[in-house]
Amino acid sequence: MHFMSQAAVTLLQVKKAFEAEIYDLICRKVNHQDYCNDIMQEVYLKILSNIDRIEKADNLSAYVVRMTTNVIADYYRKQSRLPLIGELTDVGAVDTEQVTEESNDLCCLRPFIDSLPAHYRDIIVQVELQNMKLKDYALKVGITLTNAKTRVQRARQKLKEAILQCCNYQFDGYGNVVSCCPDNLS
Protein backbone atom coordinates (compact mmCIF):
# COMPACT_ATOMS: atom_id res chain seq x y z
CA MET A 1 0.00 0.00 0.00
CA HIS A 2 1.40 3.36 -1.04
CA PHE A 3 0.88 6.11 1.50
CA MET A 4 1.52 9.82 0.89
CA SER A 5 1.22 12.43 3.54
CA GLN A 6 -1.12 15.37 3.08
CA ALA A 7 1.90 17.70 2.87
CA ALA A 8 3.40 15.68 0.02
CA VAL A 9 0.12 15.73 -1.86
CA THR A 10 -0.19 19.49 -1.41
CA LEU A 11 3.44 20.04 -2.49
CA LEU A 12 2.80 17.99 -5.62
CA GLN A 13 -0.37 19.96 -6.32
CA VAL A 14 1.45 23.29 -5.90
CA LYS A 15 4.33 22.04 -8.04
CA LYS A 16 2.00 20.87 -10.77
CA ALA A 17 -0.03 24.09 -10.77
CA PHE A 18 2.79 26.65 -10.47
CA GLU A 19 6.05 25.02 -11.60
CA ALA A 20 6.29 26.90 -14.91
CA GLU A 21 5.35 30.23 -13.33
CA ILE A 22 7.86 29.80 -10.49
CA TYR A 23 10.63 28.71 -12.85
CA ASP A 24 10.04 31.63 -15.25
CA LEU A 25 10.00 34.11 -12.38
CA ILE A 26 13.26 32.78 -10.95
CA CYS A 27 15.07 32.64 -14.29
CA ARG A 28 13.99 36.19 -15.20
CA LYS A 29 15.48 37.45 -11.92
CA VAL A 30 18.65 35.33 -11.82
CA ASN A 31 19.72 34.72 -15.45
CA HIS A 32 21.80 31.63 -14.70
CA GLN A 33 20.52 28.11 -15.31
CA ASP A 34 22.30 26.44 -12.36
CA TYR A 35 21.21 29.14 -9.92
CA CYS A 36 17.64 28.92 -11.26
CA ASN A 37 17.53 25.24 -10.41
CA ASP A 38 19.10 25.78 -6.97
CA ILE A 39 16.62 28.51 -6.11
CA MET A 40 13.77 26.37 -7.44
CA GLN A 41 14.74 23.69 -4.93
CA GLU A 42 14.84 26.30 -2.15
CA VAL A 43 11.31 27.38 -3.11
CA TYR A 44 10.08 23.80 -2.87
CA LEU A 45 11.69 23.42 0.54
CA LYS A 46 10.05 26.67 1.64
CA ILE A 47 6.69 25.48 0.34
CA LEU A 48 7.07 22.18 2.16
CA SER A 49 8.03 23.87 5.44
CA ASN A 50 5.08 26.28 5.17
CA ILE A 51 2.50 23.82 3.91
CA ASP A 52 0.02 24.66 6.69
CA ARG A 53 0.01 28.34 5.70
CA ILE A 54 -0.27 27.50 2.02
CA GLU A 55 -3.33 25.34 2.61
CA LYS A 56 -5.01 28.30 4.36
CA ALA A 57 -3.99 30.96 1.80
CA ASP A 58 -6.81 32.93 0.21
CA ASN A 59 -4.91 33.50 -3.04
CA LEU A 60 -2.58 30.55 -3.55
CA SER A 61 -0.96 31.99 -6.68
CA ALA A 62 -0.07 35.28 -4.99
CA TYR A 63 1.23 33.43 -1.93
CA VAL A 64 3.51 31.19 -4.00
CA VAL A 65 4.78 34.12 -6.09
CA ARG A 66 5.53 36.13 -2.91
CA MET A 67 7.32 33.15 -1.40
CA THR A 68 9.39 32.71 -4.57
CA THR A 69 10.26 36.40 -4.64
CA ASN A 70 11.40 36.18 -1.01
CA VAL A 71 13.62 33.17 -1.77
CA ILE A 72 15.19 35.09 -4.68
CA ALA A 73 15.78 38.08 -2.40
CA ASP A 74 17.38 35.76 0.17
CA TYR A 75 19.65 34.39 -2.55
CA TYR A 76 20.87 37.88 -3.50
CA ARG A 77 21.17 38.86 0.16
CA LYS A 78 23.40 35.84 0.80
CA GLN A 79 25.50 36.69 -2.24
CA SER A 80 25.99 40.28 -1.08
CA ARG A 81 26.94 39.15 2.44
CA LEU A 82 29.81 36.98 1.22
CA PRO A 83 33.01 38.61 2.42
CA LEU A 84 34.88 40.56 -0.23
CA ILE A 85 38.21 39.05 0.76
CA GLY A 86 37.53 36.36 3.31
CA GLU A 87 37.77 36.44 7.03
CA LEU A 88 40.49 38.89 8.00
CA THR A 89 41.15 40.05 11.50
CA ASP A 90 43.74 42.71 10.80
CA VAL A 91 42.90 44.93 7.87
CA GLY A 92 45.95 47.12 8.42
CA ALA A 93 49.36 46.42 6.97
CA VAL A 94 49.97 43.14 5.20
CA ASP A 95 52.89 41.08 6.49
CA THR A 96 55.21 40.60 3.50
CA GLU A 97 56.56 37.32 4.91
CA GLN A 98 53.09 35.76 4.89
CA VAL A 99 51.75 36.91 1.55
CA THR A 100 48.69 34.83 0.70
CA GLU A 101 46.16 35.06 -2.04
CA GLU A 102 43.81 36.90 0.33
CA SER A 103 46.41 39.47 1.30
CA ASN A 104 47.24 40.02 -2.39
CA ASP A 105 43.55 40.73 -2.97
CA LEU A 106 43.56 43.16 -0.05
CA CYS A 107 46.61 44.94 -1.49
CA CYS A 108 44.64 45.47 -4.69
CA LEU A 109 41.46 46.60 -2.93
CA ARG A 110 43.06 48.73 -0.24
CA PRO A 111 43.60 51.82 -2.45
CA PHE A 112 39.95 51.72 -3.49
CA ILE A 113 38.79 51.30 0.10
CA ASP A 114 41.11 54.11 1.26
CA SER A 115 39.68 56.43 -1.41
CA LEU A 116 36.19 56.23 0.13
CA PRO A 117 34.92 58.90 2.54
CA ALA A 118 35.72 57.98 6.16
CA HIS A 119 32.24 56.76 7.17
CA TYR A 120 31.98 54.54 4.09
CA ARG A 121 35.54 53.24 4.49
CA ASP A 122 34.84 52.45 8.14
CA ILE A 123 31.70 50.43 7.46
CA ILE A 124 33.32 48.49 4.58
CA VAL A 125 36.29 47.55 6.76
CA GLN A 126 34.25 46.58 9.80
CA VAL A 127 31.23 44.93 8.19
CA GLU A 128 32.71 43.38 5.04
CA LEU A 129 36.30 42.65 6.02
CA GLN A 130 35.99 42.03 9.74
CA ASN A 131 32.51 40.46 9.47
CA MET A 132 30.93 42.71 12.10
CA LYS A 133 27.15 42.42 12.15
CA LEU A 134 25.27 45.51 11.01
CA LYS A 135 23.39 45.64 14.30
CA ASP A 136 26.68 45.75 16.22
CA TYR A 137 28.10 48.38 13.87
CA ALA A 138 25.00 50.55 14.30
CA LEU A 139 25.30 50.35 18.09
CA LYS A 140 29.02 51.09 17.97
CA VAL A 141 28.71 54.26 15.89
CA GLY A 142 25.39 55.37 17.38
CA ILE A 143 23.10 55.14 14.35
CA THR A 144 19.93 53.18 13.67
CA LEU A 145 20.04 49.78 12.02
CA THR A 146 18.21 51.25 9.02
CA ASN A 147 20.87 53.93 8.65
CA ALA A 148 23.61 51.29 8.91
CA LYS A 149 21.96 49.24 6.17
CA THR A 150 21.70 52.29 3.94
CA ARG A 151 25.28 53.28 4.68
CA VAL A 152 26.69 49.85 3.84
CA GLN A 153 24.72 49.75 0.58
CA ARG A 154 26.04 53.17 -0.39
CA ALA A 155 29.57 52.19 0.62
CA ARG A 156 29.40 49.05 -1.52
CA GLN A 157 28.10 51.10 -4.44
CA LYS A 158 30.86 53.70 -4.05
CA LEU A 159 33.50 50.97 -3.83
CA LYS A 160 32.08 49.33 -6.94
CA GLU A 161 32.12 52.66 -8.80
CA ALA A 162 35.74 53.28 -7.79
CA ILE A 163 36.78 49.83 -8.99
CA LEU A 164 34.87 50.13 -12.27
CA GLN A 165 36.40 53.57 -12.96
CA CYS A 166 39.96 52.27 -12.79
CA CYS A 167 39.71 49.75 -15.62
CA ASN A 168 37.70 48.72 -18.65
CA TYR A 169 35.81 45.58 -17.76
CA GLN A 170 34.01 43.23 -20.09
CA PHE A 171 31.19 41.11 -18.70
CA ASP A 172 29.52 37.94 -19.94
CA GLY A 173 25.76 37.49 -20.16
CA TYR A 174 25.61 36.56 -16.47
CA GLY A 175 27.44 39.67 -15.26
CA ASN A 176 30.73 37.88 -14.59
CA VAL A 177 33.97 39.68 -15.45
CA VAL A 178 35.60 38.04 -18.48
CA SER A 179 38.39 40.56 -19.08
CA CYS A 180 39.91 43.59 -17.47
CA CYS A 181 42.27 46.13 -18.94
CA PRO A 182 43.55 49.28 -17.17
CA ASP A 183 42.15 52.47 -18.76
CA ASN A 184 45.59 53.63 -19.87
CA LEU A 185 46.16 50.39 -21.85
CA SER A 186 42.81 50.14 -23.61
Q: How confident is residue 117, by pLDDT bands cut at 50, 70 and 90? A: very high
Residue 140 confidence (pLDDT): 94
Residue 20 has pLDDT above 80, yes or no: yes
Residue 107 confidence (pLDDT): 58
Task: Pinpoint the residues of the chain covered by CATH 1.10.1740.10.
Answer: 6-81
**Which CATH number is 6-81's, of 3.40.50.970, 3.40.350.10, 1.10.1740.10, 3.40.630.30?**
1.10.1740.10
Report the amino acid identity of residue 41: Q
Residue 72 confidence (pLDDT): 86
Residue 104 confidence (pLDDT): 44
Q: Which CATH class is domain 96-185?
A: mainly alpha
Give me the mean pLDDT over the 57-86 stretch: 77
Q: How far is CA 180 from CA 84, 104, 134, 154, in A?
A: 18, 17, 32, 24
Residue 100 confidence (pLDDT): 41
Of 82 and 42, more confident: 42
Q: How confident is residue 81, by pLDDT bands cut at 50, 70 and 90? A: low
The number of helices, as runs of H, and strands, as runs of E, in the chain is 8, 2
CB 96 within 8 A of CB 75: no
**pLDDT tens digits for range 85-106:** 444 334 443 343 433 444 444 5
What's the pTM value of the predicted model, to 2 decimals? 0.43
Task: Pinpoint the residues of the chain covered by CATH 1.10.10.10.
Answer: 96-185
Q: Rounded to 5 degrees, what angle do the CA atoms 115, 155, 147 make?
A: 135
Q: How confident is residue 6, by pLDDT bands cut at 50, 70 and 90? A: low
Give me the mean pLDDT over the 158-170 stretch: 81
Of 135 and 167, more confident: 135
